[in-house]
Amino acid sequence: MKKLYIIRGLPGSGKTTLGRLIAQGGPLYEADQFFTDEEGNYRFDATKIADAHRWCKLEAGKSRAAGYTTVVVANTFTRHWEYALYLDLAQTFGYSVTIITTKGNHGSVHGVPRETMDNMRERWEN
């Protein structure tokens, strides 16, 4: 059975940790990976956030087309429309979907400012 896991939550809530556990070495995609170079340095650029999400969707689509049985995508997804394309791709490639919301409070490894976190909380859709 083919499965797509969509993991959503605020920064520092445990998305990546859970995603790694589910993926078990298989494909795990996050928009943050777009900002990480080959040496592991994270350099966020707010002007490229749309590019990062396009990259994430493209890579997830490639994994599905390549026949991976488990694909994991972990992003904040504060609003439902933000993961709608993943649902469409899953349907196209015959994947069932599980959406998981992480709610931990482990602190953002990327230093997301408090104001940004507050804005994300305000626009969160359950």
Going by C-beta distance under 8 Å and a sequence separation of 6 or more, which residues neighbour residue 27?
59, 60, 63, 68, 70, 71, 72
CATH number of the domain to which 114 belongs: 3.40.50.300
| pLDDT one digit per residue (tens) for the chain, 126 residues | 999 999 999 999 999 999 999 999 899 999 999 999 999 999 999 999 999 999 999 999 899 778 799 999 999 999 999 999 999 989 988 999 999 999 988 888 888 999 999 999 999 999
Answer whether 73's CB lies under 8 Å from 87's CB: no
pTM, two decimals, is 0.92
Answer whether 76's CB lies under 8 Å from 10's CB: yes
Residue-range definition of the domain harbouring residue 88: 3-123
Tokens of 26: 């298989």
Indicate the number of domains in the chain.
1
Specify the long-range contacts of residues 20-25, CB closer than 8 Å, at least 24 apart. 22/70, 22/72, 23/70, 23/72, 24/70
